[in-house]
Amino acid sequence: MSDEAVSDGAVGDDLLDSARAWLAQDPDPETRAELRDLVDRSEAGDPGATQELHARFDERLAFGTAGLRGEIAAGPNRMNRVLVGQAAAGLAAYLLERAHGVRQPSVVIGYDGRKNSQVFASDTAEIMAGAGIRAILLPRLLPTPVLAFAVRELGASAGVMVTASHNPPNDNGYKVYLGGDDDGSQIVPPADGEIAAHILRVAAELSVAELPRSSDYEHADESIVDAYVEATARVADSGATRGELSVVYTAMHGVGWETMRKVLQRAGFGIPTTVAAQIEPDAAFPTVSFPNPEEPGAMDLSFEAARAAGADLVIANDPDADRLAVAIPDPGQESGYRRLSGNEVGSLLGWRAAEQAARTALASGDGGATGTLACSIVSSPALAAVAAEYGLDFADTLTGFKWVSRAPGLVYGYEEALGYLVNPQTVRDKDGISAAMAFLDLATGLAAEGRTIADQLTSFTERFGHFASDQISLRVDDQGDIGRIMSRLRAEPPASVGGTAVLRIDDLSDGFEGLPPSDVLRIRLADGSRVMVRPSGTEPKLKIYIDSSSTEGSALERQAVAEAAVTRLAEGMRALTAL
Protein backbone atom coordinates (compact mmCIF):
# COMPACT_ATOMS: atom_id res chain seq x y z
CA MET A 1 0.00 0.00 0.00
CA SER A 2 1.26 3.48 -0.87
CA ASP A 3 2.01 6.15 1.73
CA GLU A 4 -0.74 8.25 0.16
CA ALA A 5 -3.31 5.50 0.72
CA VAL A 6 -2.22 5.08 4.29
CA SER A 7 -2.43 8.80 4.96
CA ASP A 8 -6.01 8.84 3.62
CA GLY A 9 -6.93 6.20 6.20
CA ALA A 10 -7.28 3.35 3.72
CA VAL A 11 -6.58 -0.09 5.13
CA GLY A 12 -6.22 -3.36 3.27
CA ASP A 13 -7.83 -6.66 4.18
CA ASP A 14 -4.42 -8.33 4.50
CA LEU A 15 -3.32 -5.88 7.18
CA LEU A 16 -6.51 -6.30 9.21
CA ASP A 17 -6.43 -10.07 8.75
CA SER A 18 -2.87 -10.16 10.09
CA ALA A 19 -3.86 -8.06 13.09
CA ARG A 20 -6.89 -10.24 13.82
CA ALA A 21 -4.81 -13.41 13.55
CA TRP A 22 -2.36 -11.91 16.02
CA LEU A 23 -5.20 -11.07 18.39
CA ALA A 24 -6.43 -14.66 18.27
CA GLN A 25 -3.15 -16.02 19.63
CA ASP A 26 -2.13 -13.23 22.03
CA PRO A 27 -2.31 -14.39 25.67
CA ASP A 28 -1.58 -10.93 27.09
CA PRO A 29 -4.72 -8.91 27.94
CA GLU A 30 -2.83 -5.59 27.82
CA THR A 31 -1.37 -5.95 24.33
CA ARG A 32 -4.58 -7.61 23.12
CA ALA A 33 -6.63 -4.62 24.28
CA GLU A 34 -4.38 -2.02 22.67
CA LEU A 35 -4.29 -3.95 19.38
CA ARG A 36 -8.07 -4.38 19.46
CA ASP A 37 -8.36 -0.61 19.83
CA LEU A 38 -6.03 -0.01 16.87
CA VAL A 39 -8.02 -2.40 14.69
CA ASP A 40 -11.34 -0.79 15.63
CA ARG A 41 -10.03 2.70 14.98
CA SER A 42 -8.47 1.66 11.68
CA GLU A 43 -11.72 0.06 10.53
CA ALA A 44 -13.46 3.34 11.40
CA GLY A 45 -11.08 5.23 9.09
CA ASP A 46 -8.55 6.61 11.56
CA PRO A 47 -5.38 7.17 9.46
CA GLY A 48 -3.15 7.32 12.54
CA ALA A 49 -4.31 3.88 13.66
CA THR A 50 -3.77 2.47 10.19
CA GLN A 51 -0.29 3.95 10.04
CA GLU A 52 0.49 2.38 13.41
CA LEU A 53 -0.74 -1.03 12.23
CA HIS A 54 1.55 -0.80 9.23
CA ALA A 55 4.47 0.08 11.51
CA ARG A 56 3.78 -3.02 13.57
CA PHE A 57 2.83 -5.53 10.86
CA ASP A 58 4.68 -4.56 7.68
CA GLU A 59 7.97 -5.75 9.19
CA ARG A 60 9.06 -8.21 11.82
CA LEU A 61 11.48 -7.62 14.69
CA ALA A 62 14.52 -9.44 13.33
CA PHE A 63 16.25 -12.15 15.33
CA GLY A 64 19.99 -11.76 15.00
CA THR A 65 23.26 -12.03 16.91
CA ALA A 66 21.82 -9.63 19.50
CA GLY A 67 18.69 -11.79 19.75
CA LEU A 68 15.56 -9.66 19.92
CA ARG A 69 15.12 -6.18 21.32
CA GLY A 70 12.36 -3.62 20.96
CA GLU A 71 9.44 -1.73 22.43
CA ILE A 72 6.78 -3.71 24.33
CA ALA A 73 3.55 -3.60 22.34
CA ALA A 74 1.42 -5.85 20.11
CA GLY A 75 2.50 -7.00 16.66
CA PRO A 76 5.46 -8.81 15.06
CA ASN A 77 7.60 -5.64 14.98
CA ARG A 78 7.36 -5.21 18.75
CA MET A 79 8.31 -7.22 21.87
CA ASN A 80 5.39 -9.20 23.30
CA ARG A 81 4.32 -12.66 24.46
CA VAL A 82 3.46 -13.87 20.96
CA LEU A 83 6.89 -12.93 19.59
CA VAL A 84 8.62 -14.44 22.63
CA GLY A 85 6.57 -17.62 22.29
CA GLN A 86 7.60 -17.96 18.67
CA ALA A 87 11.24 -17.31 19.58
CA ALA A 88 11.16 -19.92 22.34
CA ALA A 89 9.62 -22.53 20.07
CA GLY A 90 12.08 -21.74 17.28
CA LEU A 91 15.06 -21.95 19.65
CA ALA A 92 13.73 -25.24 21.03
CA ALA A 93 13.52 -26.67 17.49
CA TYR A 94 17.09 -25.52 16.80
CA LEU A 95 18.40 -27.15 20.00
CA LEU A 96 16.62 -30.42 19.23
CA GLU A 97 18.01 -30.40 15.69
CA ARG A 98 21.50 -29.63 17.00
CA ALA A 99 21.33 -32.49 19.52
CA HIS A 100 20.59 -35.01 16.74
CA GLY A 101 18.59 -37.07 19.24
CA VAL A 102 21.76 -38.10 21.08
CA ARG A 103 20.84 -36.38 24.32
CA GLN A 104 18.19 -34.13 25.77
CA PRO A 105 19.12 -30.49 25.22
CA SER A 106 18.93 -28.09 28.14
CA VAL A 107 18.41 -24.37 28.53
CA VAL A 108 18.84 -22.08 31.52
CA ILE A 109 16.67 -18.96 31.57
CA GLY A 110 17.23 -15.67 33.40
CA TYR A 111 15.38 -12.38 33.58
CA ASP A 112 15.91 -8.86 34.88
CA GLY A 113 13.51 -6.34 36.45
CA ARG A 114 12.01 -4.83 33.31
CA LYS A 115 8.35 -4.90 32.43
CA ASN A 116 7.28 -8.42 31.39
CA SER A 117 10.74 -9.92 31.93
CA GLN A 118 9.49 -12.58 34.34
CA VAL A 119 6.46 -13.29 32.14
CA PHE A 120 8.64 -13.74 29.04
CA ALA A 121 10.99 -15.99 31.01
CA SER A 122 8.14 -18.16 32.33
CA ASP A 123 6.64 -18.46 28.84
CA THR A 124 10.03 -19.57 27.56
CA ALA A 125 10.42 -22.18 30.29
CA GLU A 126 6.93 -23.62 29.66
CA ILE A 127 7.38 -23.78 25.89
CA MET A 128 10.86 -25.27 26.18
CA ALA A 129 9.62 -27.91 28.60
CA GLY A 130 6.65 -28.59 26.34
CA ALA A 131 9.05 -29.21 23.44
CA GLY A 132 11.04 -31.76 25.42
CA ILE A 133 13.90 -29.46 26.43
CA ARG A 134 15.22 -29.58 29.98
CA ALA A 135 14.41 -26.04 31.11
CA ILE A 136 15.95 -24.43 34.20
CA LEU A 137 14.63 -21.07 35.41
CA LEU A 138 16.90 -18.96 37.60
CA PRO A 139 15.46 -18.40 41.08
CA ARG A 140 14.53 -14.70 40.70
CA LEU A 141 15.46 -11.59 38.76
CA LEU A 142 19.24 -11.50 38.48
CA PRO A 143 22.01 -9.77 36.48
CA THR A 144 22.80 -10.93 32.96
CA PRO A 145 26.32 -12.10 34.00
CA VAL A 146 24.77 -14.62 36.39
CA LEU A 147 22.85 -16.16 33.49
CA ALA A 148 25.99 -16.21 31.31
CA PHE A 149 27.84 -17.91 34.19
CA ALA A 150 25.03 -20.42 34.71
CA VAL A 151 25.16 -21.64 31.10
CA ARG A 152 28.73 -22.84 31.70
CA GLU A 153 28.32 -23.85 35.34
CA LEU A 154 25.30 -26.06 34.61
CA GLY A 155 26.65 -27.39 31.32
CA ALA A 156 23.52 -26.18 29.52
CA SER A 157 23.05 -26.41 25.78
CA ALA A 158 21.85 -22.82 25.70
CA GLY A 159 20.89 -19.84 27.80
CA VAL A 160 18.21 -17.19 27.41
CA MET A 161 18.36 -13.85 29.19
CA VAL A 162 15.27 -11.65 29.07
CA THR A 163 16.62 -8.10 29.20
CA ALA A 164 16.89 -4.93 27.16
CA SER A 165 20.04 -3.94 29.07
CA HIS A 166 20.28 -0.13 29.00
CA ASN A 167 17.52 0.55 26.44
CA PRO A 168 14.61 2.94 27.12
CA PRO A 169 12.14 1.90 29.86
CA ASN A 170 9.43 0.42 27.64
CA ASP A 171 11.82 -1.88 25.75
CA ASN A 172 12.62 -5.49 26.44
CA GLY A 173 14.77 -8.10 24.76
CA TYR A 174 15.73 -11.74 24.36
CA LYS A 175 19.42 -12.62 24.39
CA VAL A 176 20.63 -16.15 23.52
CA TYR A 177 23.81 -17.94 24.58
CA LEU A 178 25.10 -21.33 23.48
CA GLY A 179 26.94 -23.93 25.53
CA GLY A 180 29.12 -26.81 24.36
CA ASP A 181 31.78 -25.72 21.89
CA ASP A 182 30.48 -22.14 22.15
CA ASP A 183 31.49 -22.15 25.83
CA GLY A 184 28.63 -19.95 27.00
CA SER A 185 29.15 -17.12 24.51
CA GLN A 186 26.40 -15.24 22.74
CA ILE A 187 25.29 -16.55 19.37
CA VAL A 188 27.09 -15.63 16.15
CA PRO A 189 26.48 -16.63 12.51
CA PRO A 190 25.45 -19.09 11.30
CA ALA A 191 23.59 -20.00 14.52
CA ASP A 192 21.58 -16.76 14.51
CA GLY A 193 20.31 -17.38 10.99
CA GLU A 194 19.48 -21.02 11.71
CA ILE A 195 17.52 -20.08 14.84
CA ALA A 196 15.78 -17.26 12.96
CA ALA A 197 14.69 -19.71 10.24
CA HIS A 198 13.08 -21.95 12.86
CA ILE A 199 11.34 -18.96 14.44
CA LEU A 200 9.92 -17.85 11.08
CA ARG A 201 8.67 -21.38 10.40
CA VAL A 202 6.88 -21.44 13.76
CA ALA A 203 5.36 -18.03 13.06
CA ALA A 204 4.12 -19.12 9.63
CA GLU A 205 2.76 -22.53 10.57
CA LEU A 206 1.67 -22.46 14.20
CA SER A 207 -0.39 -20.37 16.57
CA VAL A 208 1.33 -19.57 19.85
CA ALA A 209 -1.91 -20.61 21.54
CA GLU A 210 -1.41 -24.13 20.13
CA LEU A 211 2.21 -24.58 21.18
CA PRO A 212 2.64 -27.41 23.68
CA ARG A 213 3.46 -26.11 27.14
CA SER A 214 4.51 -27.81 30.35
CA SER A 215 4.98 -26.66 33.92
CA ASP A 216 7.51 -29.48 34.33
CA TYR A 217 10.56 -27.24 34.34
CA GLU A 218 13.16 -26.79 37.05
CA HIS A 219 13.90 -23.85 39.31
CA ALA A 220 17.59 -23.35 40.00
CA ASP A 221 18.39 -22.85 43.66
CA GLU A 222 20.62 -20.30 45.36
CA SER A 223 23.71 -22.42 44.86
CA ILE A 224 24.11 -21.08 41.33
CA VAL A 225 24.17 -17.50 42.64
CA ASP A 226 26.56 -18.49 45.42
CA ALA A 227 28.90 -20.09 42.88
CA TYR A 228 28.88 -16.90 40.79
CA VAL A 229 29.58 -14.79 43.88
CA GLU A 230 32.49 -17.01 44.91
CA ALA A 231 34.05 -17.04 41.44
CA THR A 232 33.62 -13.30 40.92
CA ALA A 233 35.07 -12.37 44.32
CA ARG A 234 38.27 -14.12 43.28
CA VAL A 235 38.83 -11.44 40.64
CA ALA A 236 40.16 -9.21 43.41
CA ASP A 237 43.59 -10.06 44.82
CA SER A 238 42.75 -11.10 48.38
CA GLY A 239 46.42 -10.88 49.43
CA ALA A 240 47.00 -7.35 48.16
CA THR A 241 47.47 -4.35 50.42
CA ARG A 242 44.43 -2.11 50.11
CA GLY A 243 44.05 1.55 50.91
CA GLU A 244 40.80 3.07 52.13
CA LEU A 245 38.46 4.52 49.55
CA SER A 246 35.10 6.23 49.82
CA VAL A 247 32.91 4.76 47.08
CA VAL A 248 29.40 5.54 45.78
CA TYR A 249 27.41 2.90 43.87
CA THR A 250 24.25 3.02 41.78
CA ALA A 251 22.31 0.16 40.20
CA MET A 252 20.47 2.55 37.84
CA HIS A 253 17.10 1.07 38.91
CA GLY A 254 18.37 -2.34 37.81
CA VAL A 255 19.14 -5.73 39.33
CA GLY A 256 22.82 -5.33 40.15
CA TRP A 257 22.90 -4.36 43.81
CA GLU A 258 21.89 -7.56 45.59
CA THR A 259 24.54 -9.59 43.77
CA MET A 260 27.11 -6.78 43.83
CA ARG A 261 26.80 -6.46 47.61
CA LYS A 262 27.39 -10.19 48.13
CA VAL A 263 30.47 -10.13 45.90
CA LEU A 264 31.87 -7.03 47.64
CA GLN A 265 31.47 -8.66 51.03
CA ARG A 266 32.98 -11.95 49.86
CA ALA A 267 35.97 -10.11 48.33
CA GLY A 268 36.59 -8.15 51.52
CA PHE A 269 35.67 -4.69 50.24
CA GLY A 270 33.69 -2.20 52.30
CA ILE A 271 30.06 -1.54 51.47
CA PRO A 272 29.77 1.65 49.42
CA THR A 273 27.36 4.51 49.84
CA THR A 274 24.41 3.73 47.60
CA VAL A 275 22.20 6.03 45.55
CA ALA A 276 19.02 5.17 47.43
CA ALA A 277 16.62 6.40 44.75
CA GLN A 278 18.16 4.07 42.16
CA ILE A 279 19.23 1.03 44.17
CA GLU A 280 16.12 -1.17 43.87
CA PRO A 281 14.80 -2.62 40.60
CA ASP A 282 12.10 -0.41 39.09
CA ALA A 283 10.81 -1.06 35.58
CA ALA A 284 9.64 2.55 35.28
CA PHE A 285 13.19 3.95 35.73
CA PRO A 286 11.69 7.05 37.39
CA THR A 287 14.88 9.11 37.91
CA VAL A 288 16.42 8.70 34.44
CA SER A 289 14.97 9.30 31.00
CA PHE A 290 17.40 6.79 29.52
CA PRO A 291 18.90 4.18 31.92
CA ASN A 292 22.34 4.15 30.32
CA PRO A 293 25.33 5.48 32.30
CA GLU A 294 26.75 6.87 29.06
CA GLU A 295 23.78 9.19 28.54
CA PRO A 296 23.99 12.82 29.72
CA GLY A 297 22.34 13.21 33.13
CA ALA A 298 22.08 9.50 33.89
CA MET A 299 24.69 9.72 36.66
CA ASP A 300 23.61 13.07 38.13
CA LEU A 301 22.21 11.47 41.30
CA SER A 302 25.43 9.49 41.68
CA PHE A 303 27.48 12.67 41.53
CA GLU A 304 25.16 14.33 44.04
CA ALA A 305 25.67 11.42 46.45
CA ALA A 306 29.42 11.46 45.78
CA ARG A 307 29.70 15.17 46.62
CA ALA A 308 27.81 14.61 49.86
CA ALA A 309 30.05 11.68 50.81
CA GLY A 310 33.30 13.20 49.56
CA ALA A 311 33.71 10.02 47.50
CA ASP A 312 36.96 9.02 45.86
CA LEU A 313 35.18 6.87 43.29
CA VAL A 314 31.75 6.39 41.74
CA ILE A 315 30.80 3.04 40.21
CA ALA A 316 27.59 2.33 38.34
CA ASN A 317 26.04 -0.67 36.69
CA ASP A 318 23.49 -0.46 33.90
CA PRO A 319 20.09 -2.08 34.63
CA ASP A 320 21.14 -5.68 33.92
CA ALA A 321 24.63 -5.14 35.42
CA ASP A 322 26.64 -6.30 32.44
CA ARG A 323 28.24 -2.86 32.02
CA LEU A 324 30.31 -0.74 34.39
CA ALA A 325 30.69 3.02 34.54
CA VAL A 326 33.34 4.73 36.67
CA ALA A 327 33.72 8.37 37.70
CA ILE A 328 36.53 10.09 39.57
CA PRO A 329 36.82 13.50 41.29
CA ASP A 330 37.50 16.35 38.90
CA PRO A 331 37.27 19.94 40.18
CA GLY A 332 37.12 21.16 36.60
CA GLN A 333 33.65 19.65 36.17
CA GLU A 334 30.50 21.39 37.37
CA SER A 335 29.40 18.19 39.11
CA GLY A 336 32.82 17.76 40.72
CA TYR A 337 33.21 14.36 39.02
CA ARG A 338 34.16 13.07 35.58
CA ARG A 339 32.90 9.82 34.15
CA LEU A 340 35.78 7.96 32.61
CA SER A 341 35.27 6.81 29.06
CA GLY A 342 34.94 3.12 28.32
CA ASN A 343 38.31 3.33 26.60
CA GLU A 344 39.98 4.81 29.69
CA VAL A 345 38.58 2.12 31.98
CA GLY A 346 39.27 -0.55 29.37
CA SER A 347 42.90 0.53 28.98
CA LEU A 348 43.55 0.60 32.72
CA LEU A 349 42.01 -2.83 33.22
CA GLY A 350 43.96 -4.11 30.22
CA TRP A 351 47.20 -2.84 31.78
CA ARG A 352 46.21 -4.60 35.02
CA ALA A 353 45.57 -7.84 33.10
CA ALA A 354 48.94 -7.58 31.33
CA GLU A 355 50.71 -7.05 34.65
CA GLN A 356 48.97 -10.12 36.07
CA ALA A 357 50.00 -12.19 33.05
CA ALA A 358 53.60 -11.02 33.47
CA ARG A 359 53.63 -11.90 37.17
CA THR A 360 52.15 -15.31 36.47
CA ALA A 361 54.83 -16.02 33.85
CA LEU A 362 57.57 -14.87 36.22
CA ALA A 363 56.27 -17.05 39.05
CA SER A 364 56.00 -20.11 36.83
CA GLY A 365 59.42 -19.64 35.23
CA ASP A 366 57.93 -20.52 31.83
CA GLY A 367 59.26 -17.46 30.03
CA GLY A 368 57.36 -14.39 28.92
CA ALA A 369 53.70 -13.56 29.48
CA THR A 370 51.21 -15.40 27.32
CA GLY A 371 47.61 -14.84 26.39
CA THR A 372 45.50 -12.48 24.32
CA LEU A 373 44.16 -9.01 24.97
CA ALA A 374 41.14 -8.30 22.76
CA CYS A 375 38.84 -5.41 22.03
CA SER A 376 36.31 -4.48 19.39
CA ILE A 377 37.45 -2.66 16.28
CA VAL A 378 35.72 0.55 17.42
CA SER A 379 37.58 0.58 20.75
CA SER A 380 40.82 2.47 21.36
CA PRO A 381 44.11 1.26 19.86
CA ALA A 382 45.56 1.72 23.37
CA LEU A 383 45.03 -1.94 24.25
CA ALA A 384 47.13 -3.03 21.28
CA ALA A 385 49.95 -0.84 22.62
CA VAL A 386 49.71 -2.55 26.01
CA ALA A 387 49.80 -6.00 24.41
CA ALA A 388 52.87 -5.09 22.36
CA GLU A 389 54.69 -3.77 25.43
CA TYR A 390 54.12 -7.00 27.34
CA GLY A 391 54.64 -9.42 24.46
CA LEU A 392 51.01 -10.56 24.54
CA ASP A 393 48.87 -11.41 21.54
CA PHE A 394 46.26 -8.87 20.50
CA ALA A 395 42.96 -9.43 18.70
CA ASP A 396 40.70 -6.92 16.97
CA THR A 397 37.12 -8.21 16.80
CA LEU A 398 33.82 -7.03 15.46
CA THR A 399 31.66 -5.06 17.86
CA GLY A 400 29.97 -7.09 20.57
CA PHE A 401 31.11 -9.54 23.20
CA LYS A 402 29.86 -12.42 21.12
CA TRP A 403 33.06 -11.74 19.15
CA VAL A 404 35.38 -10.47 21.90
CA SER A 405 34.70 -13.57 24.02
CA ARG A 406 35.81 -15.86 21.19
CA ALA A 407 39.35 -14.49 20.85
CA PRO A 408 41.76 -17.45 21.17
CA GLY A 409 43.77 -17.47 24.39
CA LEU A 410 41.75 -14.60 25.83
CA VAL A 411 42.87 -13.24 29.20
CA TYR A 412 41.06 -9.89 28.97
CA GLY A 413 38.69 -8.16 26.59
CA TYR A 414 36.65 -4.98 26.42
CA GLU A 415 34.64 -2.69 24.20
CA GLU A 416 34.30 1.05 24.56
CA ALA A 417 30.56 0.89 25.36
CA LEU A 418 31.41 0.21 29.04
CA GLY A 419 31.76 -3.56 28.62
CA TYR A 420 34.65 -5.51 30.18
CA LEU A 421 35.52 -9.20 30.41
CA VAL A 422 38.09 -9.61 33.16
CA ASN A 423 37.57 -13.29 34.03
CA PRO A 424 37.01 -15.30 30.83
CA GLN A 425 37.50 -18.55 32.72
CA THR A 426 34.23 -17.79 34.56
CA VAL A 427 31.98 -15.74 32.25
CA ARG A 428 32.23 -15.46 28.46
CA ASP A 429 30.44 -12.14 28.26
CA LYS A 430 30.84 -8.61 29.53
CA ASP A 431 30.28 -8.46 33.28
CA GLY A 432 29.84 -5.20 35.15
CA ILE A 433 30.17 -6.85 38.56
CA SER A 434 33.47 -8.67 37.99
CA ALA A 435 34.78 -5.55 36.24
CA ALA A 436 33.88 -3.52 39.34
CA MET A 437 35.88 -5.97 41.46
CA ALA A 438 38.90 -5.58 39.18
CA PHE A 439 38.63 -1.80 39.20
CA LEU A 440 38.19 -1.58 42.98
CA ASP A 441 41.18 -3.90 43.35
CA LEU A 442 43.21 -1.52 41.17
CA ALA A 443 41.97 1.64 42.91
CA THR A 444 42.49 0.38 46.46
CA GLY A 445 45.96 -0.90 45.55
CA LEU A 446 46.86 2.55 44.22
CA ALA A 447 45.40 4.17 47.35
CA ALA A 448 47.71 2.05 49.50
CA GLU A 449 50.60 3.69 47.61
CA GLY A 450 49.13 7.18 48.03
CA ARG A 451 48.10 7.32 44.36
CA THR A 452 44.78 7.77 42.55
CA ILE A 453 43.14 6.59 39.36
CA ALA A 454 43.95 10.01 37.86
CA ASP A 455 47.61 9.36 38.66
CA GLN A 456 47.37 5.97 36.96
CA LEU A 457 45.94 7.55 33.83
CA THR A 458 48.92 9.89 33.72
CA SER A 459 51.27 6.94 34.19
CA PHE A 460 49.54 5.18 31.28
CA THR A 461 50.16 8.22 29.07
CA GLU A 462 53.81 8.35 30.10
CA ARG A 463 54.39 4.67 29.38
CA PHE A 464 52.24 3.93 26.33
CA GLY A 465 51.33 7.34 24.90
CA HIS A 466 48.14 9.34 25.17
CA PHE A 467 45.13 7.86 23.38
CA ALA A 468 42.25 10.29 22.90
CA SER A 469 38.82 9.18 21.75
CA ASP A 470 35.46 10.70 20.91
CA GLN A 471 32.16 9.33 19.75
CA ILE A 472 29.33 10.86 17.74
CA SER A 473 25.89 9.28 17.92
CA LEU A 474 23.64 10.50 15.12
CA ARG A 475 20.10 9.53 16.15
CA VAL A 476 17.52 9.42 13.32
CA ASP A 477 13.75 9.21 13.06
CA ASP A 478 13.92 7.53 9.67
CA GLN A 479 16.03 4.35 9.81
CA GLY A 480 16.63 4.75 6.08
CA ASP A 481 18.76 7.83 6.75
CA ILE A 482 21.47 5.61 8.19
CA GLY A 483 21.72 3.55 5.01
CA ARG A 484 21.75 6.71 2.90
CA ILE A 485 24.67 8.18 4.86
CA MET A 486 26.65 4.93 4.65
CA SER A 487 25.97 4.71 0.90
CA ARG A 488 27.08 8.30 0.41
CA LEU A 489 30.36 7.73 2.24
CA ARG A 490 31.01 4.66 0.09
CA ALA A 491 30.06 6.32 -3.20
CA GLU A 492 31.85 9.60 -2.46
CA PRO A 493 34.76 8.75 -0.13
CA PRO A 494 36.24 11.87 1.47
CA ALA A 495 39.79 12.90 0.55
CA SER A 496 40.24 14.51 3.95
CA VAL A 497 38.52 14.77 7.32
CA GLY A 498 38.86 17.91 9.42
CA GLY A 499 41.77 19.05 7.27
CA THR A 500 43.69 15.79 7.65
CA ALA A 501 44.31 13.70 4.53
CA VAL A 502 42.68 10.28 4.25
CA LEU A 503 45.21 7.53 3.57
CA ARG A 504 42.66 4.80 2.88
CA ILE A 505 39.16 3.60 3.72
CA ASP A 506 38.59 -0.04 4.65
CA ASP A 507 35.07 -1.26 3.83
CA LEU A 508 34.31 -4.21 6.08
CA SER A 509 31.00 -5.07 4.39
CA ASP A 510 32.63 -7.97 2.51
CA GLY A 511 34.90 -8.97 5.39
CA PHE A 512 38.40 -7.65 5.95
CA GLU A 513 41.66 -9.12 7.25
CA GLY A 514 39.95 -12.18 8.67
CA LEU A 515 36.98 -10.31 10.14
CA PRO A 516 33.46 -11.46 9.20
CA PRO A 517 31.45 -9.09 6.98
CA SER A 518 30.06 -6.08 8.83
CA ASP A 519 28.51 -2.76 7.83
CA VAL A 520 31.52 -0.74 9.00
CA LEU A 521 33.82 1.81 7.37
CA ARG A 522 37.30 2.37 8.81
CA ILE A 523 38.98 5.61 7.75
CA ARG A 524 42.76 5.81 8.18
CA LEU A 525 44.21 9.35 8.38
CA ALA A 526 47.68 10.59 7.44
CA ASP A 527 48.51 11.56 11.05
CA GLY A 528 47.84 8.02 12.29
CA SER A 529 44.34 8.80 13.52
CA ARG A 530 41.38 6.54 12.82
CA VAL A 531 37.65 7.00 12.31
CA MET A 532 35.11 4.15 12.41
CA VAL A 533 31.55 4.52 11.12
CA ARG A 534 28.79 1.96 11.69
CA PRO A 535 25.05 1.70 12.30
CA SER A 536 24.07 0.87 15.88
CA GLY A 537 22.99 -2.73 16.37
CA THR A 538 20.33 -1.90 18.96
CA GLU A 539 19.14 1.67 18.39
CA PRO A 540 18.16 3.91 15.43
CA LYS A 541 21.41 5.82 15.20
CA LEU A 542 24.69 6.01 13.31
CA LYS A 543 27.78 5.74 15.50
CA ILE A 544 31.12 7.36 14.69
CA TYR A 545 34.25 6.54 16.69
CA ILE A 546 37.32 8.77 16.53
CA ASP A 547 40.76 7.87 17.89
CA SER A 548 44.11 9.64 17.85
CA SER A 549 47.31 9.23 19.86
CA SER A 550 50.66 10.85 20.60
CA THR A 551 53.92 9.57 22.08
CA GLU A 552 55.93 12.78 21.76
CA GLY A 553 56.79 15.12 24.62
CA SER A 554 55.52 15.21 28.19
CA ALA A 555 52.26 13.65 29.32
CA LEU A 556 50.48 16.99 29.04
CA GLU A 557 51.93 17.63 25.57
CA ARG A 558 50.89 14.16 24.39
CA GLN A 559 47.39 14.73 25.71
CA ALA A 560 47.07 18.14 24.04
CA VAL A 561 48.15 16.85 20.62
CA ALA A 562 45.90 13.79 20.66
CA GLU A 563 42.84 15.65 21.91
CA ALA A 564 43.25 18.47 19.39
CA ALA A 565 43.35 15.92 16.58
CA VAL A 566 40.19 14.23 17.84
CA THR A 567 38.37 17.58 18.05
CA ARG A 568 39.27 18.43 14.43
CA LEU A 569 38.19 15.00 13.20
CA ALA A 570 34.90 15.16 15.09
CA GLU A 571 34.06 18.50 13.45
CA GLY A 572 34.94 17.06 10.06
CA MET A 573 32.80 13.95 10.53
CA ARG A 574 29.79 15.97 11.65
CA ALA A 575 30.02 17.91 8.40
CA LEU A 576 30.41 14.75 6.31
CA THR A 577 27.42 12.98 7.88
CA ALA A 578 25.01 15.92 8.06
CA LEU A 579 21.54 14.96 6.86
Q: Report the catalytic residues.
A: 165
Sign of the C-alpha dihedral computed for residues 368, 369, 374 and 378 taken in this order? negative
Rounded CA-CA distance 271/247 in Å is 8
Strands (E), 188-235: 218-219
Nearest partner of 396 among 384, 411, 412, 382, judged by Cα: 384
Find residue 177's DSSP bridge partners: 159, 186
Find residue 64's DSSP bridge partners: 67
Q: Determine contact, residues 514/407, Cβ cutoff 8 Å.
A: no
Rounded CA-CA distance 447/61 in Å is 49
List of residues 6+ apart from 90 with CB closer than 8 A = 63, 195, 196, 197, 198, 199, 200, 201, 202
Beta-carbon-side half-sphere exposure of residue 526 (alpha carbons within 13 Å)? 9
3-state secondary structure 42-95: HHCCCHHHHHHHHHHHCCCCCCECCEEEEEECCCCCCECHHHHHHHHHHHHHHH
Q: Is the peptide bond before 190 cis (omega within 30 degrees of 0)?
A: yes
Tell me phi and psi for residue 169, to 5 degrees. -55, -35
